[in-house]
Structures are given as structure tokens and as C-alpha cells.
Amino acid sequence: MSAKLTILGCHSATPRTSAHPTAQLLEIQNRYFLIDCGEGTQVQLRKYKIKFSKIKHIFISHLHGDHVFGLIGLISTFRLLNRETELHVYGPKGIKEFIVNQLKLSQSFGKYPIEFHELSSTESELIYEDSKVTVHTIPLKHRVYTNGFLFKEKIGERNLNISIINKYPEIEVCDYQNLKNGKDFTLKNGAVISNTELTTAPKKPKSYAFCSDTVYNEAIVSIIKNVDLLYHEATFLEDKIDLAKTTKHSTAKQAAQIAKLGRVNKLVIGHYSSRYSDIERFKEEAFPVFPNTELALEGKTFEI
């Protein structure tokens, strides 16, 4: 099964009528993960026909408004829709107070439980795991405590080689799951048929790395190494590199350098500053360093 990333918002700072702040939806192994929740995210979810009920896990990179101000509105709407399913919110320490105080003062508590997972480590850590997917943090360097997130599929079951299996009548359908799990098969005469003869390797697990606001930071390369898709913020072009350093953001060229060092398959850049009217310039700057670069555009989907 393929994974899919939908860009809901990809601009920095203040929202505009045609430019929304950061928010993304990652679909992987039938899980729907919302990543950041800038102002207007729930409207974007409606616009691109994403069912609110599918969202059970929300990951917030940091507490700057253009990445989190849409969260209270979405949580409140869940209540109006009579949500009952538990919601998990992962974000910096303080995010619980940030949300609960607003719910308390607006008397907007819903019947559904909200589980907050507050983060404070400056080292990469596992924050989510189930039978199919893991999520680790990617420590970033910004003006406030910030994390990116690495989403990875677990290695799946092996694939049955039916044409070979059919040569051994002793192998029945009830044995198939053991073969998928990697076990050899022992015939009645004691001969062992290697699992590698009866099956083929599973598909390569998909991976996606989301790197939110950050200054250029090669320390993340070892974490994002060889991912299928990398999103890396590119607020500025090289003409504003001094401003990038001051505000602890990255340029398009720097994002491309990280992608190149990480040997990733594809790079997506976004979080464009409103100083630039032509965002094609971001791709033009990144391309010479890392040719397989694409621009984040609202409503655009990337198959992983």
C-alpha cells in the first residue's frame, strides 16, 4: 500500500486569502496523521474532503501560531460533531495548558478524551508505535523548542511464491501465515524447505520526514537518512541568508543541501516567506543542489 501526503497549508507567518500556514495530512497504513495545525486547517480539511473522524493523532512541531493556532478550533469542532473517539496530541511541553485553558474559558470541553503527549527531549525519541508504523522526533533548532517527525512503516510480511509452494503438496493454506512470518517448512521426511525459496522479500517500508522551522542543521542528517520523502522548510532564498540565520530559518538551497547529504529520494520545500511573490524561485534555487525537488502547494498530494 502506498503512503500519501496532502499539503493543507505551506506558507509562513500570517495567513492570507490564498495562502495558509503549515498543516499536512499523512495517510500511511490506513492511519491519518495530522502534522501541524495552522490557522484555518479545519477549513482546508473540508476543502480537500478529508473526514475529520479519521484523524486520531495530531503532531505539533512547535508552539508558534502559524503551526498551532488552528488546533483549538479543530478540537472544538470535534465536540460539535459529537466525537467520541479518543484524540492524541503530540507536541512541546505546554501544549496541554495551551489547549485546556482555551477549552475551559470557552466552556468547550467535549465528551471525547484528549491524551496529550508532551515532549521536551533534545534527542530523537520514539513517540508513537503500533503494529504497522513508528514515529520518532527529529530535534530541530528554532527560536523555541521544536521537533520534526519521522514516520516509518514497519517491515511487512513476506510474499508467498505460490508457483513454488504448489510444488509441495504438504504445504497447506493453514501454513501460509507461518511462511509469511519468515519460517521455513519441514516436510514429513525431515527435509527443510528454506523460507527464501517459498517466499519473496516484503516491499520496502515507506518513510516520510517532516522538518518544520529550523536553522540549517546537519545534525538531523543521520535521522532522515534515505527517507523516501523529506519535507524541509525553506522560508527564504539565499538573498536573505542573514535574515534566515537571525530568525533561525532555512533557505531553499540549504534545504536542498540537507536532502543531498541525507540521500533522500525526494525533497518537498515550503513555508515560503510572503516577501517573495514568485515561489518558483525556491525550486530554481534548490534544483542545482538537489534536482528531485518539488514545491509544496496547497491541495497537492505526494505519493510516497
Is 66 part of the annotated catalytic residue set?
yes
Delimit the domains of the chain by residue range: 4-156+203-303, 159-200
Q: What is the 3-state secondary structure (H, E, C) of the chain?
A: CCCEEEEEECECCCCECCECECEEEEEECCEEEEEEECCCHHHHHHHCCCCHHHEEEEECCCCCHHHHCCHHHHHHHHHHCCCCCCEEEEEECCHHHHHHHHHHHCCCCCCCCEEEEEECCCCCCEEEECCCEEEEEEEECCCCCEEEEEEEECCCCCEECHHHHCCCCCCCHHHHHHHHCCCCEECCCCCEECHHHHEECCCCCCEEEEECCCCCCHHHHHHHCCCCEEEEECCECHHHHHHHHHHCCCEHHHHHHHHHHHCCCEEEEECECCCCCCCHHHHHHHCCCCCCEEECCCCCEEEC
pTM of the complete model: 0.93
The residue with cell 543541501 is 257
Let me know if 72 is exposed, middle or buried by CB neighbors in 10 A (0-12, 13-18, 19+).
middle
pLDDT for res 1: 57
For the stretch 9-65, pLDDT in tens is 999 987 777 889 999 999 999 999 999 999 999 999 999 999 999 999 999 999 999
> Which residue among the candidates 36, 66, 213, 228 is catalytic per the annotation?
66
For the stretch 78-134, pLDDT in tens is 999 999 999 999 999 999 999 999 999 999 998 999 999 999 999 999 999 999 999
Residues sharing a CB contact under 8 Å with residue 138, sequence separation 6 or more, in sequence order: 124, 147, 148, 149, 150, 209, 210, 211, 220, 223, 224
Q: In the chain, how long is the greatest CA-to-CA distance?
A: 76
For the stretch 206-233, pLDDT in tens is 999 999 999 999 999 999 999 999 999 9
pLDDT for res 113: 97
What CATH number is given for 4-156+203-303 in this structure?
Answer: 3.60.15.10
Whole-angstrom Cα Rg for the chain: 22
